[in-house]
Structure 1
Amino acid sequence: MNSINVIFLWHFHQPYYKDDLTGEILMPWARLHATKDYRFMGEILKNYPKVHAVFNYSPSLLAQLDDYVNNYDNTLKNEKFLSISAKKIIELTADDKLFILNKLFPACSSGKHFLEKSERFKQLYYRLRDAGTSIGLGEKISLFTNQDYLDIIVLFNIMWIDPISINSDEFLTALKNKDKKFTVAEKNILIEEKIPQILNKIFPLITELASNGQIELSASPYYHPILPLLCDTDIAHFHDGIVLPKPFRHPEDADYQIKSAINYFDEKLNYKINGMWPSEGSVSERTLKLFIDNNINWIATDEEILFNSIGVNFSDIDNRKLLYRPYVVKRGKGYSYIFFRDKMLSDLIGFKYSNYEPKAAAEDLINNLKNIAISLHDYNKNDLPVVSIILDGENAWEYYKNNGYDFFNYLYEGLSNNTEIINTVTAGEYIKKVENTLKITDDVDKASNSIEKGKTGVKIKRFLDIRRDQGRNIDFSEIYNIPTIYPGSWINHNFRIWIGDSEDNKAWDLLSKTRSYLVNKTNDSIREEGGLRGEYLKAAWKQLYIAEGSDYNWWYGEDRTSGIDEEYDLLYRTHIINVYKFLNDNPPDDCFIPVLEEKRAVKPHLDIVSFINPKIDGVAGSYSEWLGSA
């Protein structure tokens, strides 16, 4: 059995939650995922040095983590979840208690295993739920004693800490085991000492893993925008049946989001970024040129982009072999390698394996990888097949038992014991293998002549057109160029999550209007002597770039809901409003009108693509039985 290369890319991202004008942190998710997932993912990988991976971060997330680390005392005041947690119990107001009941409980009830972390928390949660919605606010508050509120606060914060951090700290272990009747002193130690200790370990851990080569760091564009839409929203016309807003065409903004991400890693982490996971795997011809022009050596997107680009049926098993080989996108004199996400394997981890027993899930993934290796039996020993497993590195684990701790131990141990078949690599390591093994140069004719004359050490880079070579067996000793990329994202190979719905289009129009205002103010300031100070213009442009992020439109529209859509709507409009406020102007009235519409009907975001015939036997079978369903 030939070996295969496997690239795990874990993507870490949170939108920018801070109101830069007031300093208020409007949502706690960057901090909560930091204590539950960001240290956890590094520590558990560190225990298995044979396993390599790519850790992909959005700078908008890292900048917020840096703020928590270096300004924790301020975040104690400015993040409401933290400030209420730090407050003396006897000083909690009725509004504070309502906030605890309305916000802390839901934040621990999304994943099916979350409530199982604490019997006491579950009892308190069900007490509130069973009281129903008809009781008054005062009665709702009085359902709980001060000791109850103290326990809710402590348990909420401990439940958002990963098992490695808990098990390696005697105080946290004792607190978790105690589960109830906490003291104020214990709460204070947790909030004021233990949480910042965990946060402080994240950046050194990332740096250590990157410096020893176990991980490669890569980036997404700074504020996580959908770059093809920034370049030209009309690219979405490529997909039929979509109504679009007024055109938004600003490739210069897309270029800025790429450049500023590269600069962040260079300046803050002293790390040169070679690769990018474009936000949501979104690509287009225009964005490929931007990546190449910015010397990005590799990018990644979804398998459906590949199959639509080369015009093959991706449900055909034989065609799937095309997924597991090296590709480039060569444009002009430049090029980037491009990796394509194995949708089935990535989605198994992201959406299915949480329903399995951890050991069974790990074994299933490893067996799937072995089966891929078997399917590639006709390749010779110099072939370098690669499987790219790319997914969110934080949100899935709350649906797993023990935050995925057992799953990852079984998985990483299994991978470590099967290195003769499954070789985990970073993207950079794989590219180095390719360039050391395959024939690589830009000038085919010149190199061929050199070889004929007996000269050695000449490498031939043959970027063969994949479309022209579909009719014959793919030769893995040659690198294939994709002459035209199909525009789309990892979700249904289109952009409909972010544009086309009336709410999405309203948000784009508001962004466009705000940008036009900002350009005019910038031009006026340049022309006028004694115009606006540069720091204010810079702050205003920052707000616009933040508002270009994908997360707001992720929740706009009828395709999905967060349960707190109003808060994301407010977050979006806060950044828009701040563009005007930083320039000491009154925002237009439409900035204060919710983008959300009153009547919404949430629809599934996955298309039904075929009939399915799964075996209904009460046993968790293969994921492939359910392919095609929503």
Structure 2
Amino acid sequence: MADLAFLWHMHQPDYRHPDSGEFLLPWVFLHSIKDYTDMAAHLERHPNVRCTVNFVPVLLDQIEDYAEQFEQGQWRDPLLRIADAADPEQLGQADRDWLLDMAFRCHAPTMLEPFAPYRRLRDLLDFVRAHDGNGLNYLSGAYFADLATWYLLAWCGESLRRSGTVIPKLMAKGSAFTFEDRQALLAELGQAISNIIPRYRTLAERGQVELSCTPGTHPLAPLMIDFNSAREALPDCPLPAAPEYPGGRSRVEAHLLAAKESHSRRFKQAPAGLWPAEGALSMPFLKQVAEAGFGWTASSQGVLRHSVGDSARTSVAWQAPEEIPGDITLFFRNEHLSDLIGFEYAKWHGRDAAQHFMTELKALHLQDDRNLIPVFLDGENAWEYYPYNGWYFFSDLYDALSKNPGIRTVTLSEAAASQHDRRARLPRLTAGSWVFGTLSTWIGNPDKNRAWEMLCDIKQCADRALDSERMSDETRHDVLRRLAICESSDWFWWLGDYNSPQSVACFDMLFRENLKALYRLLNLPLAASLDHPISTGGGAPESGGTMRRAT
């Protein structure tokens, strides 16, 4: 019997403005009502399917922030504030502009085109924009009320559409949504987001799901420890002018501790395994993960190839190199199968995709009935490209897996136990990630390197201030929290000339706003460079709201 180990990775960076706490982008909320709810529902409907679900603490922080907003009725997200407006005619110009900029950011073929009333709102806006420059002033409050409602409806997951009453009723109504309609929708969505963490905790408590974690705010740990790790897989990679990130090892340790604390507090048990941010590992980071007490960690097939060679197999678990303490197990994702789900099957009929996946599994099973099949990918970003948010694909796939006696779905801790005596010893680990097996997505580009240099500058300032006995405990806590957010890998991911200008500009601004907030906490004058974008340009705009990430 072959073991299939799914790992679904859930992550969004901190979208809150560091001063106001207002959400500048609504992606945490929208992925919550679409993907985190649906992924839980698929598992609840198929209790015989086991898997690992990975949550990053900075995402959980924001999910809890939204739950608090619904509980208190005090909105820190413009989308929710607009949807809850009693008189949309009184919406301020800033809210109107924000909604017009945001409300069609989705994958149009699956999330906009199927809904005629939503299409009409888009076509009306296009018509107005194509004519008189003042034409936007003719858009009524009713237009904005319907637009906010449809944006929420378009992002609702299939499980909410199929199990609820308010959402299908409003989708059938189509337009002229009243204040009462919008309040009923918000009530249902608020209940959904408040239930996300409890639902996954319940799945874990009954043993169907293993919950794993990622260091604090999703830092690119190998680079924080040593910029030169980028050259292990890419020898000619340009590096920042700064020789290193100051105190990187201690910062990585802090992120690991934050992950364990967050996990234990929210899920009532310590995490056994850790998925590193972007699947990025290096020898020094692996040593810290092992010393932190984790039983397993994982990366991708590209890292395994760079470490061992093209013949290395992902179908067995690996034992860490001899110099790594303890007995930690490493897994490396099957890139072919993972990328079929992440990039290819969205173009297929759900049943055909599920049957093809099962055929691929059968081929691996026939090679060795003890094979481990590790399939790791984002649990959120791919599904908007699937019709019905992947509902039929998951229904058919999970049904087939439940009925197939030759394939057993397992958690990664179960896989570590069953594979323990079969593990091969990894002779060495070449630093890399699940993107091309290198670290080039976060370093090497002039804009990315400049961002690292800016972060190094403020880290040196923070170190000097933190050493001072005059700093209060409250300020120390705030400084470390803001520093952790500045260390997120996402800021470096988006910088570069190959991403959409719209996304680059937003992440560039958010990174610099967090740096500014940290300077203010340290009572230091702001560098003039913080008022100017880091990015020197961007690529072609995306048609959807969030970049379809590489994994």
**Structure 1 residue 75: deviation in Å?**
7.4
State the alpha-carbon separation in 1 of the partners of residues 132 and 535 from structure 2: 28
Corresponding position of 1:265 = 263
Residue 50 of structure 2: aligned partner? 52
- Cα deviation digits, residues 286-330 of structure 1 (max 9, x gap): 11101110011101100111122112x3xxxxx36x220121104
Q: CA RMSD in A?
A: 1.9
How far does the alpha carbon of each residue in 1:137-162 deviate from its partner, in whole angstroms, 9 at most, with x for none? x21342x3333222111111111211
Confirm whether residue 536 of structure 1 aligns to residue 475 of structure 2.
yes
Structure 2 residue aligned with 1:161, among 129, 147, 156?
156
Unaligned runs of 5+ in 2: 543-551
Q: How does 1:33-48 map to 2 (within 5 A)?
A: 33-48=31-46
Name the count of aligned residue pairs: 536
Q: Which residue is 1:79 aligned to? A: 77
Residue 235 of structure 1 corresponds to: 229
Match of 1:619 in 2: none
The letter for the 1-side match of 2:167 is L
1:208 aligned onto 2:202: yes
Query: Does 2:133 match 1:189?
Result: no
Counterpart of 1:150 (choices 139, 142, 145) is 145
The residue aligned with 2:352 is 360
Alignment of 1:354-433 (within 5 A): 354-376=346-368, 384-418=370-404, 420-433=405-418
User: Is the 8 Å Cα contact of residues 25 and 75 (structure 1) preserved in structure 2?
Assistant: no
User: What CA distance in whole angstroms lies between the structure 1 residues aligned with 2:389 and 2:484?
Assistant: 33
Runs of 4+ residues over 6 Å off in structure 1: none
Q: TM-score normalized by structure 1?
A: 0.82
Q: CA offset at residue 479 of structure 1?
A: 2.2
Indicate conservation of the 8 Å contact 2:9/2:55, yes or no. Answer: yes
Secondary structure of the 1:113 match is helix
Q: Name the residue aligned to 1:458.
A: none
- Determine if the alignment matches structure 1 residue 122 to structure 2 residue 119: yes
Partner of 2:547: none
Whole-Å Cα distance in 1 between the matches of residues 397 and 513 of structure 2? 42
> Larger radius of gyration, structure 1 or 2?
1
CA contact (8 A) 1:497 1:559 kept: no
1:601 Cα offset (Å): 4.7
Answering whether residue 456 of structure 2 is matched by residue 512 of structure 1, we say: yes
- The residue that corresponds to 1:574 in the other structure is 513
Check whether the contact 1:113–1:401 (CA below 8 A) recurs between aligned residues: yes
Is 2:328 aligned against 1:336? Answer: yes
- SS of the aligned residue for 1:488 comes to coil
1:93 equivalent in structure 2: 92
2: CA distance, partners of 1:117 / 1:574: 38
Other-structure match for 1:561: 500
Q: Which amino acid aligns with 2:352?
A: A
When residues 98 and 306 of structure 1 are mapped into structure 2, their CA distance, relative to the original with a 3 A threshold, is same
* Counterpart Cα distance in 1 of 2:94 and 2:515: 28
Relative to structure 1, the CA distance from residue 385 to residue 266 in structure 2 (aligned partners, 3 Å threshold; closer, same or farther) is same
Tell me which amino acid in the other structure corresponds to 2:430.
Answer: Y
CA displacement 1:374-428 (0-9 Å, x = unmatched): 2226xxxxxx32011000000111111111111110110011111x211100011
Separation in structure 1 between the aligned mates of residue 302 and residue 357 of structure 2, nearest angstrom:
21
Unaligned runs of 5+ in 1: 314-318, 378-383, 439-477, 605-630
Q: Are 1:490 and 2:434 matched, yes or no?
A: yes
SS at match of 2:211: strand
**Local SS of the residue matching 1:82:** helix
The Cα of 1:237 is off from its aligned counterpart by 2.4
Q: Report the secondary structure of 2:320's partner residue.
A: strand
CA distance in 2, matches of 1:488, 1:130: 48
Q: How far is the alpha carbon of 1:74 from its aligned partner?
A: 6.0
Task: Spell out, residue by residue over 1:110-159, the C-alpha distance to the aligned partner (whole angstroms, 9 max, x if none).
Answer: 353011342110122123235556752x21342x3333222111111111
Aligned with 2:522 (options 583, 597, 609): 583
Distance 1:66 1:269 in 2: 13
Partner residue of 2:316 out of 325, 331, 351: 325
Structure 1 contact 326–385 (Cα < 8 Å) conserved? no
Aligned-residue sequence identity (percent) comes to 28
List per-residue Cα deviations over 1:550-585 (Å, max 9, x = no partner).
111111012323732211111111111111222343
User: What secondary structure does 1:300 align onto?
Assistant: strand
Match of 1:300 in 2: 298
Deviation at 1:76, TM superposition (A): 4.3
Aligned to 1:345: 337
505 and 135 in structure 1: CA distance in 2 versus 1, 3 angstrom threshold? farther
The one-character-per-residue Cα deviations of 1:212-256 (angstroms, maximum 9, x if unpaired) are 010000011110111100101121122132211022241111111
